[in-house]
A and B are shown apart, each in its own frame.
Chain A
Amino acid sequence: MFSAVFFFLALNVPLLVLLALRYLPPDYLERYLNYLVSLSFPFLPLLSLPVASASVVEERESGALQYVLSGPVSKADFLVGRAVGLLAATTAVVILGYGLAALGVFNVSSSKYLLVGEIAAIGIALNAAMVGLALVISIMSRRKATALGVAVFLWFFFTVLSDLGQLSLAVNLSAGPSAVLPLVITNPVEISRVLAVLVIGGGAEQLGPPGLILTDLLGNSAAYYMLISLASWIMASYAICYIVFSRQDVV
């Protein structure tokens, strides 16, 4: 279902019509990818957060976790297996959605595929961070309903509340533009969006107020900062998963 949603988001039927009529400008792909990033990145966590946040706690509730770990399986083995499985499944869904559309529809040269690949990689990295974060939620929750509730709230926080906060700060600059930086780096969805726009080479309209302030503050190194922030999110979330899971009681 998610693959289909991502496929149709990437496919963009009006674009097909414009392509067929040869009405598109030469840089149509960059423009299109900018729109695609703004449109689809906020929805990526909506796939990984609920699926991954339910995973461990669901097995804990059913007793399957206890049964599996009563065998010769270490907690690290279990966690790696869980994370790899979730990453593979959710990444496959994303790649199926975007990849099929890209292969079939984006009428681009091979050099442009690199750009599509970079955007897909950022999407996959965002997905990895979200899976890690959702696993932390799943490991720390005692009930599946609680885990799902926290996961959905987190998605709402990252996509709506955080955005509103950034906008408020951007409009009311009494706190200074530097206040936007921590707001962005504490939100992996925003990090990925800004990073993707920077990679595509999007303009002010696509960067938005937070992106503009960041490029103003950090200059050309803004993309590296975003990349490091996203990598930190991924590493930190999986490290927390391991530390908490290895120390807690299984039941």
Chain B
Amino acid sequence: MLLIGRLLMRGFWALAFSWERFNIPALEDSTQETLMARQGLKTGWRAFGCLLSVSHLTKNFGKFTALNEVSFEVNDGDVLLLLGPNGAGKTTAIRCILGLLNFRGQIKLDSLDARGDGVLLREKIGYVPQQSSYYENIRILDQGRLMARFKKASFGELKSKLEMVGLWSVNNRQVKSLSSGMKQRLGIALALLNDPPLLIFDEPTSNVDLSGQLEFQGLLQRFSGEGKTMLITTHLTGLDRYVDEVVVLDSGKIVAKGSPQQLLARLGATDTVFIRLELAEIPEALSLLNQNGFGAVTTKEDWLLFSVSTAEKAKLLGILSAHSLVVKDIVIQPRDIESEYLRLSGNAEN
């Protein structure tokens, strides 16, 4: 009886959520008309410029200041990376944007205010949380239906999103039986419902294995290619390629902000270049490079190891070829913003 009671409770709960949403399209495939109406709505979402604006965001937990006058913007179509050690305030900032925490300052998404228009604002955000936060004792499909109802998405759309992440075939499985990677994929599928203009990923790779991380990188590449606006907090390296702007947070304050190139230039970051030559030519190459200002050159067997800026890489190769030194192999380890940030903040252990 208690079980029946619980089921009834769930049913009425879901029913009650829809009490003021009589205009929700039924959970079947959308009609062309509905689709066109939604397309129109989405067109209205495009901001052509700043999509998300966070200004003077401050959050205190008692006497502890988690965020202190944090300001940043995410432009339409851009990918912004929020970087920082544990406790820097990244997740707190995201929770403020989602209206889950009270805050001081102002958060606007395409002219909607996070305080006054919370529900409308969240309609435009697809959020993938850091940890699995779903109802564990229901099926994937039921979890999906619930979120689809909230987001006014059709059943057809739910199906296509679950298919996209490879979960449609197992939609009858209970959420609790899924692996971390599958839960993450479920989160991404549900976040994409109704094609929100802003996607927020909170540490999307913290609970998944290497294959999950690579999978996420693939999805990120795809979304980036589709021009989606994204806000990501992560410790995953190698995201520079997809990121337009980086905001570095530390102890609730912004310590650096700008494009990855700007930040790397400001940090004086360099690429690491490994060049393999004939062993007999190593002394001559070393001498030449020293004469041309490449001071910090180290050797290991027939390999030369340099730290050089992007502009100097071509010059380096030019010098070697001008003196008929044959480069047998070359490996370039590009600089990345995460490792430079860790070096800067002295948090290498993170």
**Interface check B129, CB cutoff 8 A:** yes
CB contact list, B1-59 vs A, under 8 A: 1-2, 4-6, 8-17, 19-20
* Given A63-B133, A85-B16, A71 and B1 contact (CB-CB distance below 8 Å): no
Cα separation A84 to B15 with both chains bound (whole Å): 9
Contact B1 A93 (CB under 8 A): yes
A residues within 8 A CB of B136? 62
* B215 CB-CB contact with A under 8 Å: no
The interface on chain A, measured as residues whose beta carbon lies within 8 A of the other chain's beta carbons, has a size of 36
Contacts of A96 in B (CB 8 A): 1
Q: Which residues on B sit within 8 Å (CB–CB) of A89?
A: 5-6, 8-9, 12
Q: Do the beta carbons of A66 and B13 come within 8 Å of each other?
A: no
**Residues of B with C-beta under 8 A to A85:** 8-13, 16
Residues of A within 8 A of B123 (CB): 72
Contact flag A64-B133 (CB < 8 Å), given A2-B2, A80-B16: yes
1/0 contact string of A139-175 vs chain B (CB within 8 Å): 0000000000000000000000000000000000000
Is B207 interfacial (CB 8 A cutoff)? no
Tell me the nearest residue of chain A to B92, going by C-beta: A251
- With A64-B135, A82-B13 known as contacts, the answer to whether A70 contacts B5 (CB < 8 A) is no
The interface residues of chain B lying within 8 Å CB-to-CB of A62 are: 133, 136
Q: Are A84 and B13 in contact (CB under 8 A)?
A: yes
Is B133 in contact with A73, judged by CB distance below 8 angstroms? no
Chain A residues near B99 (CB-CB < 8 A): 69
Q: How far is A251 from B2 in the complex, measured between Cα atoms in Å?
A: 29
> Considering only CB atoms and an 8 Å cut-off, how many residues of chain B contact the other chain?
41
Beta-carbon contact of B133 and A66 below 8 Å: yes
Q: Which of chain A's residues have a CB closer than 8 A to the CB of B98? A: 69-70
A18 — which chain B residues lie within 8 A by C-beta?
none
Say yes or no: B100 contacts A86, CB within 8 Å.
no
Inter-chain contacts of B8 with A (CB < 8 A): 85, 88-89, 92
Q: Is B341 interfacial (CB 8 A cutoff)?
A: no
User: Is A201 part of the binding interface, using a Cβ–Cβ cutoff of 8 Å?
Assistant: no
| Complex contacts, A63 vs chain B, CB 8 Å | 129, 131-133
Judge whether B16 and A3 touch: CB under 8 Å.
Answer: no
Contact of A72 among B6, B122, B133 (CB under 8 A): B122
Q: Contact check, B122 vs A71: say whether CB atoms are below 8 A apart.
A: yes
Q: Is the CB of A251 within 8 A of B16?
A: no
Q: Which residue of A lies closest to B10 (CB)?
A: A85
Output the least CB separation between A65 and chain B (Å). 8
- Would A72 and B150 count as touching, CB distance under 8 A? yes
Q: Which residues of B contact A68 (CB under 8 A)?
A: 150
Instruction: Check if A1 is an interface residue, CB within 8 A of chain B.
Output: yes
Question: How distant is A14 from chain B, measured CB to nearest CB, in Å?
Answer: 24
Question: Is B129 a contact of A88 with CB atoms below 8 Å?
Answer: no
Bound Cα distance A247, B5 (Å): 30
A74 to B, closest residue via Cβ: B119
Which residues in B have their C-beta under 8 angstroms from that of A23?
none
CB distance from B11 to the nearest CB of A (A): 8
Most buried by B among A3, A67, A78: A67
| A249, CB-defined interface residue at 8 Å | yes
A216 close to chain B: CB less than 8 A: no
Chain A residues within 8 Å of B147, by CB: 71
Tell me, yes or no, whether B118 is within 8 Å of chain A by CB.
Answer: yes
Closest to A248 in B: B102
Smallest beta-carbon distance A114→chain B, Å? 27
Contact of B102 (CB < 8 Å), options: A51, A70, A82, A247: A247
Question: Taking the nearest CB of chain A, how far is it from the CB of B194, in angstroms?
Answer: 9
**Considering the chains assembled together, what is the distance between the CA atoms of A88 and B8 in angstroms?**
7
CA distance A66 to B122 in the complex (A): 13
Say yes or no for B235: interface residue by CB 8 A criterion: no
Cβ contact within 8 Å between A71 and B151: yes
Which residues of A are found within 8 Å of B332, using beta-carbon distances? Answer: none
Task: Indicate if the CB atoms of A72 and B2 lie closer than 8 Å.
Answer: no
Name the interface residues of B77-115: CB closer than 8 Å to any CB of A: 95, 98-102
What's the nearest-Cβ distance from chain B to residue A247, in Å?
Answer: 7
- Knowing A77-B20, A96-B1, say if A251 contacts B100 (CB, 8 Å): yes
Of residues A69, A81, A86, which shows the largest number of chain B Cβ atoms within 10 Å of its Cβ?
A81
Q: Tell me how far the C-beta of B152 lies from the nearest C-beta in chain A, rounded to whole angstroms.
A: 8
B100 interface neighbour in A1, A70, A92, Cβ under 8 Å: A70
Residue among B20, B102, B119, B129 with max Cβ neighbours from chain A (10 Å): B119
The closest CB in chain B to the CB of A92 belongs to B8
Most chain A CB inside 10 Å of its own CB: which residue of B19, B100, B122: B100
If A1-B2, A66-B133 touch, whether A73 touches B119 (CB-CB below 8 Å) is yes
Q: In the complex, which residues of chain B have a beta carbon less than 8 angstroms from the beta carbon of A90? A: 5
Query: Does B170 sit at the interface, judged by CB under 8 A?
Result: no
The 0/1 profile, CB within 8 Å of A marked 1, for residues 125-141 of chain B is 10101011111100000
Expressed in whole angstroms, the minimum distance between the Cβ of B115 and any Cβ of chain A is 12
7 pairs of A and B residues whose beta carbons are closest in the complex: A63-B133, A85-B13, A89-B9, A81-B16, A67-B133, A250-B100, A3-B1
Could you give 11 example pairs across A and B, Cβ below 8 Å? A2-B1, A2-B2, A2-B5, A4-B1, A66-B133, A70-B127, A71-B147, A72-B150, A77-B17, A84-B16, A89-B6
Q: B interface vs A, CB < 8 Å?
A: 1-2, 4-6, 8-17, 19-20, 95, 98-102, 118-120, 122-123, 125, 127, 129, 131-136, 147, 150-152
